[in-house]
Amino acid sequence: MQAASMLDQALTRLDEAARHLDLDADVLEKLKYPRETTKVRLMIRMDDGSRKSFMAWRCRYDDTRGPTKGGIRFHPDSTIEEVETLAFWMTFKCAVMNLPYGGGKGAVRVDPHTLSKAELERLSRAYIQAFSKIIGPDRDIPAPDVYTNSMVMGWMADEYASIVGDATPAVITGKPIALGGSLGRDDATARGGYYLVRHLAQQLGLAPGARVAIQGFGNAGQHIARLLGEDGYTIVAVSDSKGAIHCPTGLDVGKLLAAKGQGSVTALAGSDGVSALPAEKLISVDCDILVPAALEDMIHEGNAEGVKARVVLELANGPITPEADAILTRKNVIVLPDILANAGGVTVSYFEWVQNRQGYYWTVDEVHARLQTMMEREGQAIWSLAQDKGISLRSAAYVHALSRLASAIEAHGTQQFFTS
CA angle 93, 358, 69 (to 5 degrees): 25
Helix (H, G, I), strand (E, B) or coil at 61: strand
Helix (H, G, I), strand (E, B) or coil at 159: helix
With CA atoms as reference, report the closest residue to 239 among 297, 314, 306, 292: 292
- The residues that bridge with 140 in the sheet, in sequence order, are 68, 136
- The phi and psi torsions of 408 (rounded to 5 degrees) equal -70, -45
Identify the active-site residue in 30, 69, 93, 105: 105
The identity of residue 298, as a single letter, is M
**Beta-sheet strand order (sheet of 36-45):** 36-45, 51-62, 102-109, 68-75, 140-144
Pairwise CA distance, residues 378 & 74, whole Å: 31
Pairwise CA distance, residues 379 & 11, whole Å: 22
105 is catalytic: yes
Helix (H) or strand (E) holding 73: strand 68-75
3-state helix, strand, coil in the chain (%, to 5): 50, 20, 35
Q: Half-sphere exposure of residue 384, counting CA atoms within 13 Å on the CB side? A: 6
Helix (H, G, I), strand (E, B) or coil at 215: strand
Angle between helices 322-330 and 6-18 (to 10 degrees): 50
Residues designated catalytic: 105
